[in-house]
Amino acid sequence: MERSTPMDGNGCSHVQWTVDREAMTLQMAFKSTEGAEWVGLGIAEFGSMKGADIMLVKMIHNNDSVEPSFVVEDLISTDFVKPRKDLLQNVELLRAEVDENGRIHALVERPLDSCDIDDIAIEAYKQTIICASGYLDDGNEIAYHGPRQHSSTTVNLIVDEDLLYGSAPSFSSQSQSGTVLLDEGGIVKAHGFNPNSTTSSEPIAVDIQLPNISLPQDKVTSFVCVAFKLHPGIPLRSIAVETVWGDGQVRDASQKQPDHIHHQVLLQCDGFLEEGSNVEGQAYSCEDEMPLCPLVIGNAKAPLIQFPPGVHVPLDPSTYILQVHYENTAGMPIVDDRAGVRVWAEPPSLPSRSKPAKNVGHGAFLNTIHIPADPEQKEYAIHFQIPAEATQALLPAGGVDVFSAMLHMHKKGVRGRLQLIRDGVHVMDVFDTLSFDFNSQQPKLKMWKYLPGDALIITCIYEPHKDKPIYGGQSDNDEEMCTVFLAMTPPVPGYDRALGIATPADQAFANAYVGQGLGFNDNRTEEAIYAPTYKDTREFKPLQDHRTDLCALGVHDMLHASEIRLSDPGINIALYLILLLIFVGLVSSQWPAVKSMTCERTKRNTVCYILELLYGTVALPFLLQDYVSLMANDQSIDAVHADLYTATRTIGVGLTFLYLAELFYKLKPRFDLVLHHAVAIIMAVMCFAAGIKALSPKATIKLGATLGLTVATEQPMFLALLLKNLGFARHWWWPKMCYFAAVFNAITKSILIALFAYILAISYQGVDVSWEIGSWSFSKWLEPSSIFNVDVFTGVMSFLLVLLTLAQVFLGRVMFALAYKYNQKGEIKGIPSITNSPENENFSLGSVDSSPAGNCDIVESDDVSV
């Protein structure tokens, strides 16, 4: 393996990986704890199980074998419950074994970007890795790993930042020696700080903590604030932040953050201490009157957040407010608590080599957030827009670099999305989360350029209350927010806060405010002077339309999706069948039996029977294999093997061209035959189109295979007709063969048409989840309007199925009629008999016509083809 990382905790160890940039895959190796029966490792959006894409390896003990077997599962976790299996499985187990200490050693492989909405793409920025180990229950399902059997770390899996930027500075806890107070109220302490040293390159730890406070045990939500002034002359350039409590305790492998400390933010509030009775260093309850000041830094139950190399957030000499949010859901006693933030700063005695940055909140006006009650608690989405007019007016000509985006909602938040719109094109999703974890609000450390004229669209999705509406507010008790904090460099004067008027996601966007005067709890929507650049999402080009999407290329390549090019398998099989038909036409004159036929119509029908027999015999084993592989209605879909899809599609394309060629080749085909072939061709084309449109090969292969079997099971009928035309039929056995073919045809057609109807029925009822792939696993690059409508498809196919059934019934009567007419008249054209009467030389369904031999102007039995 190319790289490795230590893990914080006891969930797993020896995490190593290699990125294959040619194959666009990631191989990861890891070990479980001793005695574990499963080990899982995943990418977590918020550093927890909420919003985690997990690769889980299970050790299965087989009763008939001493050695255990191993399986890997691709899981998604959107809550603190047992993860569910992905609809698409995108993980491969390369190797697994158990060592002498009972540890599972696993090596797995996954795509960097699977194009699966249930997966998190591996990208070139720091992402949180989580892992855990545990035991299986009696059903070989995973059991809870326990409070101590889990680990996490944050690392850039693609780029070795230590190699690229140099080793990261050490953020280990400093000794208390050299502690310096940086304010008058004793709130800010710098540890290990020597103002006279000009040689140390290690960052200093600056703890900003509340004075000792106590809170009522029965109070769940509390906001406590304290104001302070930083001393002038000591520049603090913060490069990392984490939660601190007590006497300098921080989160590490030996201790976790207290549950009752939810988040802490540092606000810059110039002039606050000069107003009214505000006292420096004195804590007060601020939940009823939230400060309106800009946010500088913060942390919400996240581990150490390190800013990218080359940037810092300055803490200039000014007045600040530390705000701490307590969420005491367990009713724990909170006595003499000293929660706060530890800011890691560049050595103030050395000149800075990094650029300044600042955090800017982009939120919805609280008085415009309204989530109506819903007894079914269906997800409800709101959105707002930061218009291009505002960014054009405020951002510098070269734009700014954004290196962090943090979504903030409250307890009813489900997930969120931030879209970047540039020049009328949706160029990027900064994030589109799987879930949202109120108790672990980690930023997404993805770097991107924010240019003048760009528009931002922020969408928040909530779970409504059953019986009461939810309104906007800063208290998390039945109030909600929709905010994204962007950290950008360089700081933009006058761009301290952006507020948009929230509207339901299915309604038009409204105005927005961008400036420095309003706070998050300010309800002056009349200040929102910037009109939306786009009234709704239809006014800009979707993400997948403006560029070559690797997901689209990968999926179309995997499925061999049709394009008009000679290398396409569909084109190849069409050319093959056309050439084969030409060949048969050229050599048919050499067949003595065919050559001796005086009726051109009979001759051509005979060629068609040979092709039908050849097609059905070759196609039958492939179609039966399809049924063995695909008929189960899975609740989780493994990828359809490309060769299986290609073979089935080849059979379908072959059937289409065979029927088209037959209609053109035959002389004066009957109406019922034309109807049958036309309906079958339309159904085959619809199955093919549905497979491409819905990107659901499994569902369409089942329908196409069923349709193909209606042709591949007609050998007895075509064999009987071919033997008659070639002169091999005899009166003592040929009628019996006709009866057998008719009965066999009736049974097989009834079964297959019933199967086709059953597949359509379960598709309409939503039982077959393979139809949902287009709406789930590939919806990142599909337009909403292009998601396949299963109901419309089912309705059209049902109507065509009725027509096909009528045609099958009508055509199926032919074999019965042939045998019946023979028994009545004693002779049929092409079969020697006792009478040998000229009046029986030509047969028409329902009557026997008198006509000289070789006259093909009347309708013959040779027109049979089902």
* Overall residue count recorded for the chain in this entry: 866
Bridge partners of residue 735, in order along the sequence: none
DSSP string, 510-555: --EEEESS--TT---GGG--BPPS-SSGGGSB-TTTSS--HHHHHH
Which of 52-56, 59-63, 115-119, 694-698 has the highest average model confidence (pLDDT)? 52-56
- The predicted pLDDT at position 824 comes to 65
Q: By the 8 A CB rule, do 419 and 544 touch?
A: no
Give the CA distances from residue 728 to residues 436, 587, 715, 723, 731, in Å, rounded to whole numbers and listed in that order.
75, 21, 17, 5, 10
350 and 364 share a domain? no
196 and 130 share a domain? no
- Does pLDDT of 826 surpass 80? no
Counting beta carbons within 10 angstroms of the beta carbon of residue 170, is it exposed (0 to 12), middle (13 to 18) or buried (19 or more)? exposed
Helix, strand, coil shares of the chain, percent, nearest 5, are: 30, 30, 45
* Final residue in a domain of this structure, among 308, 336, 356: 356
In terms of residue numbers, what domain contains 274?
Answer: 180-356
Which of helix, strand or coil describes residue 622? helix
- The predicted pLDDT at position 11 comes to 84
- Is 337 inside any structural domain? yes
346 and 373 share a domain? no
Confidence band for 632, pLDDT divided at 50, 70 and 90:
low
- Is 425 inside any structural domain? no
The tens digit of pLDDT for each residue in 564-620 reads: 444 455 555 565 566 556 655 544 544 566 666 777 788 788 878 878 877 777 777
- The predicted pLDDT at position 33 comes to 92
Which of 134-143, 380-389, 726-735 has the highest average model confidence (pLDDT)? 380-389
- Does pLDDT of 519 surpass 90? no
> Average of pLDDT values for 378-396?
96
Whose structure tokens read 């007016």? Answer: 393
- The predicted pLDDT at position 576 comes to 52
Going by C-beta distance under 8 Å and a sequence separation of 6 or more, which residues neighbour residue 630? 640, 698, 701, 702, 705
128 and 257 share a domain? no
* 309 CB-side CA count, 13 A: 12
> Average of pLDDT values for 799-812?
81
Please state the three-class secondary structure of 659-702 as a single string. HHHHHHHCCCCCHHHHHHHHHHHHHHHHHHHHHHHHCCHHHHHH
531 and 677 share a domain? no
- Is 207 inside any structural domain? yes
Q: Of 719, 712, 659, 721, which Cα lies nearest the Cα of 684?
A: 659
Give the CA distances from residue 196 to residues 200, 348, 350, in Å, rounded to whole numbers and listed in that order.
10, 10, 10
- 527, two tokens: 């200040």
- The predicted pLDDT at position 847 comes to 28
Q: Of 758, 601, 759, which Cα lies nearest the Cα of 665?
A: 601
Strands 236-245 and 249-250: antiparallel
- The predicted pLDDT at position 838 comes to 32
- Is 350 inside any structural domain? yes
Q: How far apart are CA 280 and CA 183, in angstroms?
A: 9
76 and 7 share a domain? yes
Q: How far apart are CA 569 and CA 571, in angstroms?
A: 5
Which of helix, strand or coil describes residue 797? helix
Q: How far apart are CA 558 and CA 553, in angstroms?
A: 8
φ and ψ at 845, to 5 degrees? -55, 115
Q: Of 578, 582, 830, 573, which Cα lies nearest the Cα of 720?
A: 830
Q: What is the mean pLDDT of the chain?
A: 81
Q: By the 8 A CB rule, do 54 and 75 touch?
A: yes
In 10 A of CB 693, how many CB atoms?
17
Q: How far apart are CA 708 and CA 69, in angstroms?
A: 38
- The predicted pLDDT at position 865 comes to 38
The tens digit of pLDDT for each residue in 850-864 reads: 233 334 533 344 444
CATH number at residue 145: 2.60.40.1210
386 and 334 share a domain? no
- 72, two tokens: 């890997």
Confidence band for 562, pLDDT divided at 50, 70 and 90:
low
Give the CA distances from residue 699 to residues 84, 540, 794, in Å, rounded to whole numbers and listed in that order.
22, 33, 12
> Average of pLDDT values for 33-51?
91
Confidence band for 714, pLDDT divided at 50, 70 and 90:
confident
Looking at per-residue confidence, does 814 or 685 come out higher? 685
500 and 562 share a domain? no
- Does pLDDT of 339 surpass 90? yes
Q: In this predicted structure, which of 93-102, 691-700, 737-746 has the lowest mean pLDDT?
A: 691-700
Q: How far apart are CA 103 and CA 829, in angstroms?
A: 79
Q: By the 8 A CB rule, do 731 and 832 touch?
A: yes
Residue 853 is which amino acid? A
CA angle 233, 234, 235 (to 5 degrees): 110
Q: Of 219, 218, 191, which Cα lies nearest the Cα of 205?
A: 191
Q: How far apart are CA 843 and CA 849, in angstroms?
A: 6
- Does pLDDT of 276 surpass 90? no
Looking at per-residue confidence, does 183 or 127 come out higher? 127
- The predicted pLDDT at position 545 comes to 59
Which of helix, strand or coil describes residue 427? strand
In 10 A of CB 313, how many CB atoms?
25
- Is 733 inside any structural domain? yes
Q: By the 8 A CB rule, do 637 and 698 touch?
A: yes
Longest dimension (CA), the chain: 127
- The predicted pLDDT at position 613 comes to 77
Residue 648 is which amino acid? T
For residue 826, give the DSSP letter: S
Which of helix, strand or coil describes residue 638? coil
- Does pLDDT of 53 surpass 70? yes
- Does pLDDT of 377 surpass 80? yes
- Is 421 inside any structural domain? no
The tens digit of pLDDT for each residue in 398-457 reads: 999 999 999 999 999 999 999 999 999 999 999 999 899 988 888 999 999 999 999 999
Q: How far apart are CA 484 and CA 481, in angstroms?
A: 10
Strands 470-472 and 479-480: parallel
- Is 230 inside any structural domain? yes
Q: By the 8 A CB rule, do 708 and 652 touch?
A: yes
- The predicted pLDDT at position 669 comes to 81
Percentage of the chain surpassing pLDDT 90?
33
Q: How far apart are CA 657 and CA 664, in angstroms?
A: 11
- The predicted pLDDT at position 451 comes to 97
Looking at per-residue confidence, does 753 or 549 come out higher? 753
- The predicted pLDDT at position 340 comes to 94
- Is 426 inside any structural domain? no
251 and 395 share a domain? no
For residue 207, give the DSSP letter: E
The tens digit of pLDDT for each residue in 636-678 reads: 555 555 666 677 777 788 888 888 888 888 877 877 788 888 8
Q: How far apart are CA 360 and CA 296, in angstroms?
A: 8
- Does pLDDT of 840 surpass 80? no
Which of 329-343, 472-486, 735-749 has the highest average model confidence (pLDDT)? 329-343
- The predicted pLDDT at position 585 comes to 57
- Does pLDDT of 465 surpass 90? yes
Q: Is the pTM of this model over 0.85?
A: no
712 and 746 share a domain? yes
Q: How many domains does the structure of the chain reveal?
A: 4
CATH number at residue 221: 2.60.120.310
Going by C-beta distance under 8 Å and a sequence separation of 6 or more, which residues neighbour residue 453? 388, 391, 392, 422, 423
344 and 365 share a domain? no
Percentage of the chain surpassing pLDDT 70?
79
Q: By the 8 A CB rule, do 716 and 734 touch?
A: no
- The predicted pLDDT at position 509 comes to 96
- The predicted pLDDT at position 529 comes to 94
Confidence band for 40, pLDDT divided at 50, 70 and 90:
very high
701 and 795 share a domain? yes
- The predicted pLDDT at position 278 comes to 75
The tens digit of pLDDT for each residue in 468-496 reads: 999 998 776 688 999 999 999 999 999 99
